[in-house]
Chain A
Amino acid sequence: MMLVWLIVIPAAGGLISWMVERINPAWPKYAALAAMAVDLILAIVLACKPASSNAIAVPWIPQFGIAIIFSSDGLSRLLVLLTAFLGLMAVASAWTEIDDRTGFFYFNLLLALAGVTGVFLSLDLFLFYFFWEVMLIPMYLLIAIWGHENRVYASTKFFLFTQASGLLMFVAILALYFLHGKSSGHYTFDYRLLLGTTLSPTAALLLMSGFLLAFLVKLPAVPFHSWLPDAHTEAPTAGSLILAGLLLKTGAYGILRFVLPLFASAVHHFAPIAMTLGVVSILYGALQAFGQTDLKRMIAYTSVSHMGFVLLGAFAWNRLALYGVVMQLLCHGISTGALFILVGGLQQRLHTRDIDRLGGLWSAMPRLGGAMMLFAMASLGLPGLGNFIGEFLVLLGVFQVSPVLSVLASIGLITSCVYSVWIVQRTIQGKNPKGWKPPDLSARETSIMAAMIVLIVWLGLFPQPVFTAVRPSMEWLQQMSKPAISPHRISGPAVQSSMPPEAVRKETP
């Protein structure tokens, strides 16, 4: 039942926020904050529970073999935890920024969060697609109503990209449903049953493309990324936070949960292409980030670069790389989310995001400067902060599959140093051409940053709980890759013989 509450509480909280606006326009944010706080507590409780104790399966549309199946393994639990945490941060970050139609704003925000949570928990493909789509409309409205200058264009582009790719995935889901039904006589959307479907190589490749396209657009990988800079730039702060922190994660989650296990053999054939796309994303995103003058757009492009590591690691499909992917998902969510909150704070005070007009803000805003410095360092992969572990493990894992790609990808680490240091130098250090004297972070903003800093440092120093939590899921995922493995390409045994990093070796049983 707990899994249902995790989805119902944000949705209901959103409705309540919307309703109480009629009584008092100041109330919606409190309602939203309370709902997300309860949600976070539930997510923490869930993360501490023993695995597989709380799956739910109820028929929904039995005529078509559709059921409401919620289940959570380590991966889902961590991502749900991230959702609840970033959701709380998003509500807090919008506290003073949004003053128009606040009730409707929080309704959309919380409905999007409910959709994301549903995506992470559903094990019925129809239900998964349902939630996949549920998060779109509120996200569209968040950008279109409360966004910046070019918001209608950006929101429409975001919507069309995700919807087009989503519909192709939907067709692939239906095809899988029929192929499974015809071979087994049992028509169902149940993921656990569909796992055993035997597919012809062509069918597997086509179906995989349908799924993968949706996830690559959402991730996003070059060349499907062009919606992202627009959407992230034009969205309000809370919207950017959710987009970067959570919506991109649903793409990665989809690859790990659906693409790899369902189409193992096709994935092996496709892996070189996908990994190349990953490397291209890493380098292209970084290059684009150099060229931006809009601070939000710049951070958006760094997301493309960082998510390239996720794509690369997922398709390398060995233990190190998969652990790296999970770390990267969590840490990118926190660090990029924090950067968006900081930029949002700057924009609220200075009404500009133009890098050329900023500079020398440290003396006026030491707290903001310090936080920005720290998250820029996290973003460049400084050891001691979470992102380092993620990117390093991915590179290590990829090296066993393809040294060339690994070397190319590590150029991304250098480029990320350049743009991260640039962000710091050109906004908070150097001269202050306009003579800005904005107020420093408020108590509310300081506590948001404090919570995020604690998490990113904790993940950087003690990542072990994360590895322990996802170990069963990742081991299972590796099992799936075994039967079709071609020893000369992706070396299963090499993973065991290689020297695992400290963090992985000390796994608790």
Chain B
Amino acid sequence: MTLTSLFTIAPLICLGAAAVLVMLLTAVRRTYTGAAVLSLIGLAAAFATLPLMARASSHQFFLLMLNGYSAFYAGLLLLAAAACVLLSISYVRKYRHNREEFFILMLLATLGAIVLAASNHFATFFLGLELLTVSLYALIAYPHLHQGHIEAAIKYLVPASVSSAFLLFGMALIYSYSGHMEIERIGRDLPAVQLHAGYRWMIAGLSMMVVGIGFKLAVAPFHLWAPDVYQGAPAPVTAFVSTVSKGAVVALLLRLFTPGGIQTATPMFIVFTIIAAVSMIAGNLLALLQNNVKRILAYSSIAHLGYILVAFLAGGPRAIDSVTFYLITYFIANLGCFGVITVLSSPGKEMESIDDYRGLSRRNPWLAGVFAVMVLSLAGLPLTAGFIGKFTLALAGVGAGLWTLVIILVLTSTIGLYYYLRILAALFVGAPEPKDMRPAPSFSFPDGIVLAILTFLLFWLGVMPAPIIAMIQTMVR
């Protein structure tokens, strides 16, 4: 190992250093703004050093895979994390207790997510996953003076630990069969694994890994934690859980199955087909029953991960392009939705009932407008990024001949429209109760910037997606 090879992991070093610096700063003198600014600088520095990671001469560094793919995903995760940090500045400020550590945890969780996305070995995979998950336990419970958050953290802690156990056991079984723990090699050998007695330990191991991965992605039937945690977590942390934490796992999943091709690995193909179908159906149907916006968004993101799996199952380069593009649109819309919720909420007092949003367009037309376009994007309507995203998914699915899944996608996303329309109707149609005619919620400068950028990106990707698609194709393939 030389000094130059250290440069290739500069983004990771920047994030780690930033976390340590914020910690030292807080130890010396508690300054909220200082901690926030320092974390943002750390994230920015990590983003600025991404080209070093993308151009790494030897693709392997220790147990990490450093190339355009991991750099692209790291960039995506960093931007989403930065949005979460910016959104949480005014949210956490309202918390009357120690606040600075929130940013340390955010930085560590992001570091974990990037390690996970770039991992090429079960050791780094698990290391990244646990760094992410353990930070999230603390983040969800962070405003611990308020009861709901603690409850959500416990609900996250227990299933997450169980799924980690499954994951570890699965890794062990795979290791016992293959004799190594390198993700890329396992991926290359996957097509050989067929439904045959000789492969039973390998299949058992892979299935157990699917449990662990499925839990992280909150796809059905491993989704049960999601609505409770989405509801109970502080809004900016919910944004983080639904974007960064899932995006990192998607990046890994794609990489695991790309070298061999998911379509040839029959057992896994069947498993993921079922997961995708059940997620789309369950997510969209269960969301119909909810009256809580955060729970609706939880079920909607279960469904969205199901959509993503449709393109993932298509396999081949087209799958990578469309999953990546869709993930970007999903990130934008989810960050936007939870951004609006964050602006309206404060620790312990989340604005989550659909009735709270009735007539928001009269109290604050800008926030209502942003929320509306984000919801429209999740619903996949044109002019927004979600439309192009859904198009790329369907294109991949139809191209691979996955007719059943594509038809399920189409029909369930129509069902899904119903609950998106409920949110829209609440925003625009209902007049607020007289007691709700509170002064328009104001938003701070960072919130405004984040929401403005997200809205701009949403329309930009919806109208001019060609440059981003070209960028994905050059970097990720």
| Cβ–Cβ contact A156 & B381, under 8 A | no
Q: Give the chain B neighbours of A131 by CB distance below 8 A.
A: 382
| Cβ–Cβ contact B429 & A61, under 8 A | no
Q: Give the chain A neighbours of B473 by CB distance below 8 A.
A: 63
Beyond A144-B429, A151-B429, whether A170 also contacts B418 by CB under 8 A is: no
A97 part of interface (Cβ distance < 8 Å): no
- The distance in angstroms between the C-alpha atoms of A64 and B389, with both chains bound, is 13
Beyond A126-B391, A145-B429, A164-B411, whether A174 also contacts B398 by CB under 8 A is: yes
From A135-143, A218-226, A244-252, A326-334, give the one contacting chain B.
Answer: A135-143
A330 to chain B, nearest CB (A): 27
- The distance in angstroms between the C-alpha atoms of A163 and B413, with both chains bound, is 9
Q: Per-position contact with B for A176-198: 1 when CB-CB < 8 Å, else 0?
A: 01100000000000000000000
| Cβ–Cβ contact A163 & B414, under 8 A | yes
B465 part of interface (Cβ distance < 8 Å): yes
- The distance in angstroms between the C-alpha atoms of A151 and B421, with both chains bound, is 13
Q: Give the chain A neighbours of B224 by CB distance below 8 A.
A: none
Q: Give the chain B neighbours of A151 by CB distance below 8 A.
A: 429
- The distance in angstroms between the C-alpha atoms of A163 and B410, with both chains bound, is 10
B197 part of interface (Cβ distance < 8 Å): no
Q: Per-position contact with B for A141-157: 1 when CB-CB < 8 Å, else 0?
A: 10011000001100110
Q: Per-position contact with A for B449-477: 1 when CB-CB < 8 Å, else 0?
A: 00000000000000001100110010000
Q: Give the chain B neighbours of A140 by CB distance below 8 A.
A: 421, 424
Beyond A63-B469, A156-B421, A159-B421, whether A170 also contacts B410 by CB under 8 A is: yes
- The distance in angstroms between the C-alpha atoms of A259 and B139, with both chains bound, is 55
| Cβ–Cβ contact B387 & A133, under 8 A | yes
- The distance in angstroms between the C-alpha atoms of A141 and B417, with both chains bound, is 14
Beyond A167-B413, A171-B410, whether A160 also contacts B418 by CB under 8 A is: yes
B411 to chain A, nearest CB (A): 7
- The distance in angstroms between the C-alpha atoms of A242 and B234, with both chains bound, is 44
A175 part of interface (Cβ distance < 8 Å): yes
| Cβ–Cβ contact B394 & A137, under 8 A | no
| Cβ–Cβ contact A61 & B465, under 8 A | yes
A26 part of interface (Cβ distance < 8 Å): no
Residue of B nearest to A151 (CB): B429
Q: Per-position contact with A for B368-404: 1 when CB-CB < 8 Å, else 0?
A: 0000000010000111000110011011001100000
A483 part of interface (Cβ distance < 8 Å): no
Q: Give the chain B neighbours of A164 by CB distance below 8 A.
A: 410-411, 414
Residue of A nearest to B376 (CB): A137
| Cβ–Cβ contact A174 & B387, under 8 A | no
Q: Give the chain A neighbours of B382 by CB distance below 8 A.
A: 130-131, 133-134
| Cβ–Cβ contact A174 & B429, under 8 A | no
A493 part of interface (Cβ distance < 8 Å): no
Q: Give the chain B neighbours of A130 by CB distance below 8 A.
A: 382, 387
- The distance in angstroms between the C-alpha atoms of A159 and B417, with both chains bound, is 9
- Neighbour of A160 across the interface among B394, B398, B417, CB < 8 A: B417
Beyond A130-B387, A160-B418, A163-B417, whether A60 also contacts B466 by CB under 8 A is: yes
| Cβ–Cβ contact A152 & B466, under 8 A | no
Q: Per-position contact with A for B406-437: 1 when CB-CB < 8 Å, else 0?
A: 11001101100110010011001100000000
- The distance in angstroms between the C-alpha atoms of A145 and B421, with both chains bound, is 12
Q: Give the chain A neighbours of B466 by CB distance below 8 A.
A: 59-63
- The distance in angstroms between the C-alpha atoms of A28 and B376, with both chains bound, is 25
Q: Give the chain A neighbours of B469 by CB distance below 8 A.
A: 61, 63-64
| Cβ–Cβ contact B411 & A178, under 8 A | no
Give the contacts of B307-327 with A (CB-CB under 8 A).
none
A261 to chain B, nearest CB (A): 22
A441 part of interface (Cβ distance < 8 Å): no
Most buried by B among A131, A168, A174: A174
Q: Give the chain A neighbours of B392 by CB distance below 8 A.
A: 64
Q: Give the chain B neighbours of A59 by CB distance below 8 A.
A: 466
Residue of A nearest to B382 (CB): A133
Beyond A61-B465, A61-B466, A130-B387, whether A152 also contacts B410 by CB under 8 A is: no
| Cβ–Cβ contact B410 & A167, under 8 A | yes
Residue of A nearest to B406 (CB): A171
Q: Per-position contact with B for A353-367: 1 when CB-CB < 8 Å, else 0?
A: 000000000000000
Assign chain B's interface to a size class. 20 to 34
- The distance in angstroms between the C-alpha atoms of A242 and B428, with both chains bound, is 21
- The distance in angstroms between the C-alpha atoms of A178 and B399, with both chains bound, is 6
Residue of B nearest to A59 (CB): B466
Beyond A60-B466, A170-B394, whether A152 also contacts B425 by CB under 8 A is: yes
Beyond A152-B429, A178-B399, whether A171 also contacts B381 by CB under 8 A is: no
Beyond A137-B376, A145-B429, whether A167 also contacts B414 by CB under 8 A is: yes
- Neighbour of A64 across the interface among B381, B395, B413, CB < 8 A: B395
- Neighbour of A144 across the interface among B376, B387, B407, B428, CB < 8 A: B428
Residue of B nearest to A146 (CB): B429
Most buried by A among B399, B407, B418, B470: B399
- The distance in angstroms between the C-alpha atoms of A293 and B382, with both chains bound, is 38
Residue of A nearest to B462 (CB): A130
Q: Give the chain B neighbours of A171 by CB distance below 8 A.
A: 394, 398, 406-407, 410
- Neighbour of B410 across the interface among A60, A168, A178, CB < 8 A: A168
- The distance in angstroms between the C-alpha atoms of A64 and B391, with both chains bound, is 10
Give the contacts of A53-102 with B (CB-CB under 8 A).
59-64
B429 to chain A, nearest CB (A): 5
- The distance in angstroms between the C-alpha atoms of A145 and B473, with both chains bound, is 42
Residue of B nearest to A136 (CB): B381
Residue of B nearest to A152 (CB): B425
A172 to chain B, nearest CB (A): 10
Q: Give the chain A neighbours of B407 by CB distance below 8 A.
A: 171
| Cβ–Cβ contact B394 & A174, under 8 A | yes
Give the contacts of B181-205 with A (CB-CB under 8 A).
none
| Cβ–Cβ contact B383 & A134, under 8 A | yes
| Cβ–Cβ contact B418 & A174, under 8 A | no
Most buried by A among B388, B424, B470, B473: B424
| Cβ–Cβ contact B411 & A174, under 8 A | no
Residue of A nearest to B413 (CB): A167
Most buried by B among A63, A140, A167: A167
- The distance in angstroms between the C-alpha atoms of A67 and B274, with both chains bound, is 36
- The distance in angstroms between the C-alpha atoms of A226 and B394, with both chains bound, is 28
Q: Give the chain B neighbours of A145 by CB distance below 8 A.
A: 428-429
Q: Give the chain B neighbours of A60 by CB distance below 8 A.
A: 466
- The distance in angstroms between the C-alpha atoms of A134 and B462, with both chains bound, is 12
Q: Give the chain B neighbours of A174 by CB distance below 8 A.
A: 394-395, 398-399
- The distance in angstroms between the C-alpha atoms of A64 and B394, with both chains bound, is 12
A174 to chain B, nearest CB (A): 4
Q: Give the chain A neighbours of B428 by CB distance below 8 A.
A: 141, 144-145
Q: Give the chain A neighbours of B414 by CB distance below 8 A.
A: 160, 163-164, 167
- The distance in angstroms between the C-alpha atoms of A504 and B429, with both chains bound, is 50
Q: Give the chain B neighbours of A64 by CB distance below 8 A.
A: 392, 395, 469
- Neighbour of A137 across the interface among B381, B429, B465, CB < 8 A: B381
- The distance in angstroms between the C-alpha atoms of A130 and B382, with both chains bound, is 6
A55 to chain B, nearest CB (A): 21
- The distance in angstroms between the C-alpha atoms of A177 and B397, with both chains bound, is 13
B residues apposed to A, CB below 8 Å: 376, 381-383, 387-388, 391-392, 394-395, 398-399, 406-407, 410-411, 413-414, 417-418, 421, 424-425, 428-429, 465-466, 469-470, 473
Report 24 cross-chain contacts, Cβ distance below 8 Å, ordered by A residue: A61-B469, A63-B473, A64-B392, A136-B381, A140-B421, A140-B424, A141-B428, A144-B424, A144-B429, A151-B429, A155-B421, A156-B421, A160-B418, A163-B417, A164-B410, A167-B413, A170-B410, A171-B394, A171-B398, A171-B406, A171-B407, A177-B395, A178-B398, A178-B399
Listed from nearest, the 6 A-B pairs whose CB atoms lie closest are A164-B414, A174-B398, A167-B410, A133-B382, A61-B466, A130-B382
Other A-B contacts than A144-B428, A175-B398, A177-B395, 10 sampled, CB-CB below 8 A, are: A63-B469, A63-B473, A159-B417, A163-B414, A164-B414, A167-B410, A170-B391, A170-B410, A174-B395, A174-B399
A residues apposed to B, CB below 8 Å: 59-64, 126, 130-131, 133-134, 136-137, 140-141, 144-145, 151-152, 155-156, 159-160, 163-164, 167-168, 170-171, 174-175, 177-178
